[in-house]
Structure 1
Amino acid sequence: MTLRLYDTRAHELRDFVPLDPENVTVYVCGPTVQSGPHIGHVRAALGFDLLRRWLAHRYGRVTFVRNVTDIDDKVLANATATEPWWALAYRMEQEFTAAYEGIGILPPTYEPRATASIPQMQQLIQTLVERGNAYPAPDGSGDVYFDVRSWPDYGALTRQSLDAMEAAQDADPRGKRNPQDFALWKGAKPGEPEDAVWDSPWGAGRPGWHIECSAMSKRYLGAEFDIHGGGLDLRFPHHENELAQSTAAGDGFARYWMHNGLVTVGGQKMSKSLGNFTLAADVLAERDPLVVRYALAAAHYRSSLDLTESSWAEAEAAVDRIRTFLERAERVAPSATPQREERMPPAFFDAMDDDLAVPRALAVIHESVRSGNAHMDAGRIEEARHDVADVIDMTNMLGINPLSVQWKTAGGAEASALDALVQTMITQRAAARADKDWAAADRIRDAIAAAGITLEDTPAGTHWSIDG
C-alpha cells in the first residue's frame, strides 16, 4: 500500500516518497500570536496532528516543526503601554498551546519563535540581494523587497499570472519597483518600540512575515524537506512568497504542499478580521474536549467545516457509542486485547493512506463497534476481543480512544457529578428491588431512561451509559 497525499502545488494526488524514509520532515505555519486562538486555528492544527501521527505509524520518525510568529504588525498593533508586544506574544502563545493540548494535539518536535532566527533571516535576504532577486529601497528607508519580476516562476504555487495579481499590502510601497514586490525587511518607523528593532546591513528594522518561515524551515529541516503545510488561506500570498524567495536563494524547499480547509460560519470563513469567530477556550469550556476533537476531525482535512449544534451532537453520540462499547467489553470480554502486534483493518489503513480520509476511517471504527457488539450479544467472546482490539488500535491512532488516560481525566467535575447522581439512583433502585417494591424500581428506571441513560444489569452489577 502506498500513502497518497494531495499536493496543492501539483493540484493532484501524489505518491508520498520521503527524502529520508527514516526521518520524514514536516513544516507547518503556526500562529501569529496577536490574540487568542479561535476554533479554526485548532482545526488546522488538528489536521496536521493527524498527518503527523499517520506518518509516524508508517515511517517511525517524524521531525515536525510548527513556528510561532511573535513579531508582526498585528502583534505590535495589539500591544499596550502595560503589556508590551513581547509579553502579549508570549501570553497568546500560551493560549494556543493550551488549546492544542486541550484536544490532544501532540507537541511539535521544534516550535521556534521568529525572533530567535533573525540572523538566519538576514543571511537569506543577503543571498537574495547578491543573486539579484532582492533590492534595498533606494530612499534609504531600510526596506528590502523581493523583486517578483526577477523570478520567472513567481506564481507557480497558485498558478497565477503576475500581471493579474494585486499589489502586495505587507509593507509601505515607498521604495518598490513593482507593486507586487513584497517586504523581506522592514525599516524602522518612528513610534515603533525600540525593542522591536534589530540592526541589519540595510538599517535598523525587523523582518517581513514571509521571510520568517523560509529561514526557520531551512534552519530546522534543511534546504529541502518533505512537506509544507498550512491553512488554505495561506496559499497566497504567504506560501507563494515563501516558495519564491527560498527557491530563488537556491534551496529545494518543500517537495509536497498540503493545505487544510477552513472553518466557516454560514458559508463565510471564520476570521478575526471579520469578527465571526468562536474562541477555542470558550468551546473547550462548554464541551467535552474529546467531542471537540472528534467533531473537528470528522470532516476531511481539505474540506470546509461549518460547525453547527448538530455537528457537536453527532460527535457526542459517536464518542458515546465508542465509549459504551469499550466499557461493555471490559465487563463482558475482559482482557479484550489479545497478545498480538498492533494492527488495523485493511479498510482503515486504505482510508488513511488515501490522503488521510478520516471520515472513512471513522466509519471503519463504527463498523467494528457494531461487529463487536453483535459478537458479544451472541456470546462469541474471542471474535469480540479482536473487534475490541481493532477499535483500540484505530482510536489510539486518531487520538480518540475514550478510555485513554487523557480523556478519562478530561471530563472534569460535571462527569463526576453525573456519575455520582446516577450511581445513587442505581443504589436506590437496587434497594427497591431487594424489598420487592417493583413499582418503585420501575419508576427509578423510567426516570433514568427519560434522561437518556441506559442501564445494563450484569452479574457484576448494574452499569450505565448515555444513549448514543
Structure 2
Amino acid sequence: MAQSATIVNLLPMLLVMQIHDTMENQLVELNLREPGKVSIYACGPTVYDVPHLGHARTALTYDILKRYLEWQGYEIQLVSNITDIDDKIINRSSEEGISETELAATYTAIYVEQLREFGIQDPDSRPRATEYVSEMIEIIEQLISKEAAYEIAGNGIYFDVSQFETYGSLIHRTAEELRESAQGRITVDEQKNDPLDFALWKSAKPGEPSWGSPWGPGRPGWHIECVAMSLDLLGADFDIHGGGSDLAFPHHENERVESEAAGHAFARHWMHSGMLNVSGEKMSKSLGNFQTLGDAMSRYGARPLRLAMLQAHYRSLMELSDETMAGASGGIERIDAFFRRMLGAGILPGTISVEVKEKFAQAMGLDLGTPDALGIIFETITVGNSAIDNEETDIASTALATVTELLEVLGLSQVRNSTNDEIDALVSARQEAREMKEFNEADRIRDELQSRGIEIEDTANGPIWRYI
C-alpha cells in the first residue's frame, strides 16, 4: 500500500553491537572473527511434528539479528539446521508406519513453509544432520584419539566428562553440581564412567536407521550433529551460536565440550532466546494450552503474532494471551492505517530521518532491543499523522520513508495495496454513484463489498479498499 523506499543504511560507520553472552552472563560487545562479517549458527528443530510457537520465537530472534546486522552493513552467514534423525523421529515414524526419511521430509517442508508465512527469511544454509554423518565420525575419532571419549561394547561411544575441567561453564555450574541436581533425571548406566557422560555414537538397534562406522553400524548422538554442521559450514571459532534457552544445557554445553576437546575452537558468543507462556502458564500439551504456529497464524494473523513477539525482549519470558494479541492486532492496524492515510493524502517517501535511524540503531544495537525500537517507529507514525493534519508535507514524507525502512528491518512491512479488477470496478461504480448523488446505489455497492470482507476508505485522493 505504501510506496517503496530504498533500504540503504545512511549511518556513517558500522555500529558495534552488544549482546547478552550466556557464557559471560553479561552484555558484551561482539568480538568478530573477521571485521564486518558475522557467522551465526542457530539450532533448528527436530522434525517429527508441526512447528509450535516456541520454534517460531527462536527462529524470529535470529531472523531479526540477521536483518538488523545486514541493515547495519555487515555481511552475514546464518546457518540453521534440521535434525532429521532422532529417537522422537524414529518413534513417530513407527507409529505412523512410514520411514524416518519420509516423516522428516514431510515435517521439514511444513516447518519451512510456515516460517516463511511468518515472515522468517530462509537462512543461508539449512543443513540436514543425515548429510553430515561422515564429518561426525571424523570428530568422534579425534575425541577418541585425545582420550576424551570411550567405547561401551554394544552401546556406542561416549564423551568422558571427567576429561574436560570446565564442563558446565556455559550455565555457570560445576560438574559436581550438575551431578547432584541431575540425580533424579539421569538414567543410571553402570557401564558409563560418569552419569554425565553422553552418547557420541549409538550402536544400531533392530529396525532403526544406521550408518557404518569404525565401531560398527549405528547412528550419531544429538549433540555431535550440530558440532559437525557448524564447523563444516562456518569454520572453527565462528561468531555466534544461538537457540532457545532450553538448549543451553545439556545440548549447547555438550556441543561446546565436544568441539573444544577435539581441538576446534567453537563459538565466540552464545545467545539464548526466552521461553513462552500461554495465558499465564508454560505452553504444554498436558495443560491444554499448546499452540502450533499454523493454528496461531490462522487465529491471529502472521503480522500481529510477529509484532506481539517483538514487543517482548527476546530473552524475556513472553506472555501470549488474548489481551496480548488484541494489543498487537491494534498495533498492526495502526501501522496499516498510517500507510493508508499517507496514500490517501498523496504523500510520497522523502528523505529518511538520520536522527530517528540513529535512535533505532541504538535500541537494536543494545542486545536486540525490539520493544524500544518499536516505540521509536510508533512515535514516528504519530509525527507523520500530525504532519498530515498540519499540512506539513515534507515532515510527512520523511516520516513515511523512515517508517517504511525501519519496519522492513523488523520484517513488519505492511501489506501492499490489494488489486482485483472486479473489486476495482465495483469501487469505481460506487464512486460514480456518489458523484451522481445516487446514494442508495452507492450504499448497496458498499454493503456488497463489506459482505465480501472488503472495507472502503474515502480519502481526498479517492477511495481506497482493503480486505478486513
Shorter-chain TM-score bucket reads 0.7 to 0.9
Instruction: Give the aligned partner of residue 240 of structure 2.
Output: 227
Instruction: Give the aligned partner of residue 204 of structure 2.
Output: 188
Instruction: Give the aligned partner of residue 257 of structure 1.
Output: 270
Instruction: Give the aligned partner of residue 71 of structure 1.
Output: 85
SS state at 1:30 partner: coil
From 405, 424, 437, the equivalent of 1:393 is: 405
SS state at 1:185 partner: strand
Instruction: Give the aligned partner of residue 412 of structure 1.
Output: none
Deviates more, 1:125-134 or 1:329-338: 329-338
- CA separation in 2, counterparts of 1:344 and 1:216? 40
CA deviation vs aligned residue, 1:136-164 (integer Å, no higher than 9, x gap): 11xx2141111111110000101112122
Higher relative contact order at CA 8 Å, sep ≥6: structure 1 or structure 2?
A: 2
Instruction: Give the aligned partner of residue 228 of structure 2.
Output: 215
SS state at 1:345 partner: helix
1:128 paired with 2:129, answer no
Instruction: Return the letter of the residue paired with 2:92.
Output: N
Instruction: Give the aligned partner of residue 348 of structure 1.
Output: 360
Instruction: Give the aligned partner of residue 5 of structure 1.
Output: 19
Instruction: Give the aligned partner of residue 433 of structure 2.
Output: 431
From 41, 46, 50, the equivalent of 1:36 is: 50
Indicate if the aligned counterparts of 2:47 and 2:104 stay in contact, CA closer than 8 A: yes
Indicate if the aligned counterparts of 1:344 and 1:393 stay in contact, CA closer than 8 A: no
Task: Quote how far apart the aligned CAs of 1:283 are.
Answer: 1.9
- CA separation in 2, counterparts of 1:394 and 1:188? 52
Instruction: Return the letter of the residue paired with 1:218.
Output: L
Task: Quote how far apart the aligned CAs of 1:275 are.
Answer: 6.0
SS state at 1:179 partner: coil
Deviates more, 1:73-82 or 1:225-234: 73-82
Taking structure 2 as the reference length, the TM-score comes to 0.87
Structure 1 residues 301 and 378, CA gap change in structure 2 (3 angstroms) = same
- CA separation in 1, counterparts of 2:185 and 2:36? 41
Instruction: Return the letter of the residue paired with 2:82.
Output: V
Indicate if the aligned counterparts of 1:231 and 1:259 stay in contact, CA closer than 8 A: yes
Task: Quote how far apart the aligned CAs of 1:72 are.
Answer: 0.4
Indicate if the aligned counterparts of 2:347 and 2:393 stay in contact, CA closer than 8 A: no
Indicate if the aligned counterparts of 1:198 and 1:205 stay in contact, CA closer than 8 A: yes
- CA separation in 2, counterparts of 1:317 and 1:242? 42
Identity %: 35
- CA separation in 1, counterparts of 2:313 and 2:349? 31
Taking structure 1 as the reference length, the TM-score comes to 0.87
Indicate if the aligned counterparts of 1:121 and 1:215 stay in contact, CA closer than 8 A: yes
Instruction: Return the letter of the residue paired with 1:95.
Output: I
Gaps of 5+ in 2: 1-14
From 348, 359, 376, the equivalent of 1:364 is: 376
Task: Quote how far apart the aligned CAs of 1:103 are.
Answer: 1.3
Task: Quote how far apart the aligned CAs of 1:75 are.
Answer: 0.5
Q: How does 1:290-309 map to 2 (within 5 A)?
A: 290-309=303-322
Indicate if the aligned counterparts of 2:279 and 2:321 stay in contact, CA closer than 8 A: no
- CA separation in 2, counterparts of 1:281 and 1:431? 42
- CA separation in 1, counterparts of 2:71 and 2:296? 30
Name the Cα RMSD after superposition: 3.2
Instruction: Give the aligned partner of residue 333 of structure 2.
Output: 320
- CA separation in 2, counterparts of 1:168 and 1:69? 27
SS state at 2:134 partner: helix
Structure 1 residues 285 and 452, CA gap change in structure 2 (3 angstroms) = closer
SS state at 1:253 partner: coil
- CA separation in 2, counterparts of 1:20 and 1:273? 46
CA deviation vs aligned residue, 1:320-360 (integer Å, no higher than 9, x gap): 1111212221232443234x799852211111111110011
SS state at 1:379 partner: coil
Structure 1 residues 71 and 198, CA gap change in structure 2 (3 angstroms) = same
Instruction: Return the letter of the residue paired with 1:330.
Output: L
